Amino acid sequence: MLDVRGIQKVYESKDRTVEAVRDLTFTLPAGELACLVGPSGCGKTTLLKIMSGLLEPTSGEVRMEGQVVNGPPPGMAVVFQEYGRSLFPWMTVRDNVELPLKQKKLAPARRKELVEESLAAVGLAEAHAAYPWQLSGGMQQRVAIARAVAYEPHVLLMDEPFAAVDAQTRADLEDLIRDLWHRFQVTTLFVTHDIDEAVYLGQRVLILSNSPTVIRDDLAIDLPDQRDQLTTRSSPRFAELRARVYEQIHRSKDAAADADAEQPVAAGPVSGPAPAAPDHSGF
């Protein structure tokens, strides 16, 4: 369904070159729910922008259903972290959810059906006529999720969608994602910096290193398919898996710190122009 090959992204500006992503390769089979976990600043959003055709990679390519992605693919929906900026405040909940369906040129009757079904699926059947600013953060993020689901995407990408909501709401929304995935079987890539969230949600967790980013591990999550916050999170297997992810992420941080410490020694005498060192300040 999705094929990510050798993705590298170097941001260049006048006085700064940042190699955000070095080399990312993975595939997502149809119907899979995979999580991508990595520390802040490791290039998760960069990767998602590339996968959704909003940003061009420096090298490598992304294919969706066999087609090279070089603009937003029609069968893909993306949910971003900042629900406050992704919903239009002057439109009702219903109109926000319906907008992409109009762009898809669906008939009014079908649009109405999809809006109703998706709002009911996220528990907002009563909120059609409300405006986003009349809703709590968690409810607004549900609207953004309903909008993505109504679109009937083949692939759903989510970029830290719950980072800005409180812990209880977050737990509810995590269960909502598993529930929607069971119902609609959409191929989903869920990006998070939260290790527990990645293990709880995914069938598989891809672990990213610090920037410049590579994949450190690709871990199958062999927890039972029926998960709940209490039983799953307190199971010994959950603890083992989260420890494994934690260890990988920390090893990668240590490796980055060692590399920084070694830099003056490694510099030595150079012949010819020295390559521009990527600027890792800030993380």
Ligand X SMILES: Nc1ncnc2c1ncn2[C@@H]1O[C@H](COP(=O)(O)OP(=O)(O)O)[C@@H](O)[C@H]1O
How many residues bind Mg ion (CB under 5 A)? The answer is: 2
Establish if 164 lies at the interface with ligand X (CB under 6 A).
no
Q: Which of residues 43-82 bind Mg ion (CB under 5 A)?
A: 44-45
Question: Between residues 48 and 165, which has the closer beta carbon with respect to ligand X?
Answer: 48
In the list Mg ion, ligand X, none, the entry touching 40 (Cβ below 5 to 8 angstroms by class) is: ligand X
Establish if 235 lies at the interface with Mg ion (CB under 5 A).
no
In the list ligand X, Mg ion, none, the entry touching 212 (Cβ below 5 to 8 angstroms by class) is: none
Question: Between residues 46 and 118, which has the closer beta carbon with respect to Mg ion?
Answer: 46
Q: Which among 45, 283, 237, 198 is positioned nearest to 206, based on CA atoms?
A: 198
CA distance 83 to 73: 21
Which residues on neighbouring strands pair with residue 17, listed in sequence order? 12
Establish if 169 lies at the interface with Mg ion (CB under 5 A).
no
Q: Which of residues 79-118 bind ligand X (CB under 6 A)?
A: none
How many residues bind ligand X (CB under 6 A)? The answer is: 13
Site for ligand X (CB under 6 A): which residue of 4, 7, 20, 156? Answer: 20
Q: Which of residues 40-59 bind ligand X (CB under 6 A)?
A: 40-46
Q: How far is CA 89 from CA 134, 142, 231, in A?
A: 9, 15, 39
Establish if 17 lies at the interface with ligand X (CB under 6 A).
no
Cβ(202)–Cβ(174) under 8 Å? no
CA distance 62 to 5: 6
CA distance 152 to 76: 9
Rounded to the nearest whole angstrom, what is the least distance from the CB of residue 37 to Mg ion in the complex?
A: 12
16, burial (CB in 10 Å: exposed 0-12, middle 13-18, buried 19+): exposed
Cβ(118)–Cβ(149) under 8 Å? yes
Which residues contact ligand X (rule: CB under 6 A)? 11, 18, 20, 38, 40-46, 211, 282
